[in-house]
Each structure stands twice: as structure tokens, then as C-alpha cells.
Amino acid sequence: MVRQTENELKSHLKEQIQFLSRSAKLYDEGFINEAKRMSVQLRILLHDTTKSTSLLTQLNKKDMLFYDHSWDDTPGNLMIFMGLIAIEMGCGKGSFLPLLDKWSEDTPRKKSFEDWWNKIVLDDRNGSILTRKNLVLTVADQDGGAHIDSKLDTAYGNITRHNSLRLEFVSFNGKKGFSNRIELASIRHIAYEVLISLKDEFTEDEFIDCFKS
């Protein structure tokens, strides 16, 4: 085996940032399925297993802090919880919108990777909960990012296929349903958090251009 140099790993990081930025831009232009591509870049950057090592771990950066631009769940709240998205209704349609910096706190928090990655961001109050990790890995590994499985994890399937959040939109002409998918809007928001976190961490001149979509 030939070990890659630190400079080579940094080149890979620049590429992954560029891929993520371009897909985010395309998502914002209406190509919402780009979120599936984003899930793959996020997995490459962040996810460690016994058989594979994330790019940030290889660069010794897994201890960096991550911006948490999500809403917090309220203890005792019995209503469904959606931490990364807002709902927009108008012009005869309903849409899930990634929060990005539009509705987040004036002073966003920074968290350790584990706290950020494992924070619950969707909860139907009926046993189906999803964290950032669940969303990214299920979209990437099961739902079209890098692979398509014949079966989906139960919680993810309940929320994304069976509408266990019990969300409904009916337009003035009687058409039901939202114009996009809650999991893809959530992935777009996660990509936003990762990009601004990486921009804070990698401040060297060589990284400046790669954050431009």
C-alpha cells in the first residue's frame, strides 16, 4: 500500500469542498436531488468505520468544532420536531426549506463533532428519530447517494415514505403533497453547516478559492 501525503489529502479536501459547494448551488437553483450527491461528500468527509477512515480524520481535524445552526427541541414538547428545516406555504404549493442562516440564531453555536453529528434533528414522537448521522448515511448508503437498497432503515422510511410526521399540504386546486422532500432539504442544511465550519478551520490561502461555488 502507498500512503498518500498530507498535500495529496489536502487536494482531496479541496475537491470535496468544491463538489459540495457546487451541489449546494445547484440545489438552491432547483435541482433538489443534488442533495443525494451531497450526502456522499459528507460521508467521505465525516464518517469513520472499522474499514474506512474519513478525510477529516486522515487530516487530524476530526476534533474541529462544527456550527450548529439547528433549532433545539424543547423538553416535554409533544409536537413533532424538525430541527433543520422550515415549511413555506404559498403560490399553491408547500415546500421544505433548509434553515441555512435565514432562521438560525444571531450567534450560532459550535459543537464537538460527536455532539453535532448525533444530535436528533427529526422526531415524529412515535419512536422514529433521525440524527444528522442517520440522515447522511441513509441517503448515501440506501437511498440513492452512492447506493440503493431494496429496504430502508425503519425510522428513515417511516419519516420519509410513510409521513410519520403527519405533515399535509393541500393546494387550492386540491393537489396534495409538498414540492420537495424533507430529507433532501435537511441534507442541504447539513452541507451548509459543514461548509462554513470547514471555512473557519481551513483558513490557509490555498483553500480560499475552493469555497467559491
Whether 196 maps to a domain, the answer reads yes
Q: In angstroms, rounded to a whole number, what is the distance separating the alpha carbons of residues 129 and 93?
A: 26
pTM: 0.94
Residue 78 and residue 125 in contact, taking contact as beta carbons nearer than 8 Å: yes
211 falls within a domain = no
pLDDT in the model for residue 175? 57
Within 10 angstroms of residue 118's Cβ, the number of other Cβ atoms is: 13
Is residue 163 assigned to a domain? yes
Question: How much is the average pLDDT of 132-152?
Answer: 98
* Inter-helix orientation angle 34-46/182-201, to 10°: 40
Residue 191 CB burial class (10 angstroms; 0-12, 13-18, ≥19) = buried
Distance CA(205)–CA(165), nearest Å, equals 45
pLDDT band at 89 (very low <50, low <70, confident <90, very high): confident
CA dist 69 and 109 (Å) reads: 7
Q: Is residue 210 part of a domain?
A: no
Residue 23 lies in a domain: yes
Paired strand residues for 85: 98
Q: Could you tell me if residue 28 is inside a domain?
A: yes
Structure confidence by residue, pLDDT tens digits, 95-139? 889 999 876 666 678 999 999 999 999 999 999 999 999 999 999
Q: How many domains does the chain have?
A: 1
CA atoms within 13 A on the CB side of 128: 19
In a domain, 213, yes or no: no
Q: What is the pLDDT of residue 174?
A: 58
Q: How confident is the model at residue 39 (pLDDT cuts 50, 70, 90)?
A: very high
d(CA 17, CA 180): 25
Mean pLDDT within 164-179: 72
- Which range marks the domain in which residue 190 is found? 6-204
Residue 171's pLDDT is 62
- 189 or 166: whose pLDDT is higher? 189
Inside any domain, residue 157 = yes
